[in-house]
Structure 1
Amino acid sequence: MPHTEAQTAATTNFPGKKPLIISGPCSAETEEQLLTTCTQLAATGRVDMLRAGIWKPRTKPGMFEGIGTKGLPWLQKARQLTGLPTTVEVATPKHVEDALAFDVDVLWIGARTTVNPFSVQALADALRGVKVPVFIKNPVHPDLELWLGAVERLAKAGVQDIGLIHRGFASYGNTEYRNAPMWHLPIEMKRRLPDLPLICDPSHICGNRTGLAAVAQQSIDLGFDGLMLESHIDPDNAWSDAKQQVTPQRLAELLDGLIWRQETTDQQEFLTVLARLREQINQLDDEILHLLGQRMQVAESIGRYKKENDITILQTSRWNEILERGIRKGDQLGLTADFIRKYFDAVHLESINRQNSVMNK
């Protein structure tokens, strides 16, 4: 696969250790609230960077949209008191100007902004010539190209230190998540842009406190480089996103309960066993692909037979039969119904495409 602008330009020496832990309130509400939260977070010794929402893009008018620029001196003071660097979300060039004027160390672009190329370009233009690290959250809806496009726009503007934040994706209907994680998308971003740090925002994925540890652990197990978690001295009375924030003390407990994994090891026994198991996977994959190739040849034969007899490609009853049979067989083999549906959907679509090609020769 040829390298995109993002892949060639967006390498990074992003500041901070791995794992990088960012925390702070969803919104800066008052100076006391922000300073107390930040000093308590610093006292835990678990946090590397402080965050606070200064401008809050909200779904509906009339909701609390952030304290605005007057909150930046509070964040600046928190930085002076704790010695920890700070980060805020920016959505307009004026936000960038104000944040930098008050010594904000790192900026991030939110999901509602990433989804709009005009807004991202305006931010890229404002950041041209400015040496400040920038995180980019995934767009609200699951569009990988928009996320990549945002990286490319910043890279073309000369932003050298770019990071990614996975905060989940909006999906219609009630689910266990506020924003569905759709883990395959950040995994694909990490595959395409392996040099960019990728951190997870469990707060916005969950929308509640109860799921934070599980989502955080999942991201760690997938090799993410850190976490962004919202913390507030009085979460139940927070002015925004009350349900997903935790106290600094609870945050420390949550982090202590996580199992931090490493990407690899130099232990020879582990490497030998892993290589042997991976070779088994390679052989099985080759067999599966060979069988799929044979299956598609049969599908093409069926397509020719249907063409000769003026029969439609789609046979709904047969498709239902295949799917039901696959789910039953998959259950016996320990495969989930959800996986079987996704697998057979892909196979069925390829079979239809093959038969359609035969039909229209």
Structure 2
Amino acid sequence: MKHSILSNLAFLSLLGCAPVAEVASPADFITGRVTSAPDMPEAGVWVIAQTDRLPTPFRKIVVTNDAGHFVLPDLPAVQYDIWVRGYGLVDSARMQAAPGASLELTVSTAPDAQAAAAIYPASYWLSLFEVPQHSADWSNRFKLGCQLCHQVGSLMTRVRDRAGFDLGLKKASYMHVTADGLGREPLLDALADWSGRIQAGEVPQAPPRPVGIERNLVITQWSWGDAFTYAHDEIATDKRNPTLYPNGPIYGVDLGNDRVLMVDPVTHTASASNTPTLGDFAHAGHVACIHPFGVAIDQVFDRPRGRMDLFVCRPHRSASYMKSERFLTRLDYNALRNRSVGVTLAP
């Protein structure tokens, strides 16, 4: 999940949307149909309901069937903004509706290839990138050094010129070193060429719309964290026994921000708690898991000294290979037990 589900989106004006009441919907559903003129059903497009009227911003997304019909199920009883997005279309105007409504939503076709491509996934835009070295090693280092943290291909990464890319790479020491390791000048040349072709109008191949079982997917999202959140990992159950804790809290690790995040999917609330550490060194959680007794555990980095401690759900022989004086930093167990920090530790 992103730190916020309410991203800034560029919405283009579309044909109007009007509610219809001929077919009754269950009390916690919003149903309806999506068409484009003249009464053409739009199959495999996303219908999105989102609201800020719950304790944390909330969004639900479903896909239309061959006839353009959709069902938004299990919605809390508040007002929602309803809108449509689909490949080959421009985003629809928003209309307000509450659970129980049945809607007729009308959308319009994108006027040109550039308008249609504005909503393509970042990976499709990245497919236009011509790597300066055609080797598995270079591509692997690019993915681990750049793409692991940044969504390369998103709007802000594909509109810079050469100087802009160079400045961005110098903003953090790790990015600066990564660029040098990849070959800074060839990398900058390749990035500038990629961005230049896009700004000149080049677009990637259009993605296919969801088909078959893909249309059965229902996505529910809650906002957590803030503008600086890097929710590196999240967990809702014990990975070894995923039947544990149904509908329980979802925990997240806010990498570099010294916090444990939590969302309650039943009450639609979100919180963030600072993580106490021995010596008050800042905590940068990395990977979360949940113990059968309810313990939220993660990998801890001591930023000032670059040391790490690995907390595992149960003893594993791999831990014997990590015995080193360098791995000394630990979460303050007693502080975690005695403070409400969003995690529960066993006695």
How does the TM-score come out when normalised to structure 2?
A: 0.28
User: Higher helix proportion, which one?
Assistant: 1
Report which of the two has the higher share of strand: 2
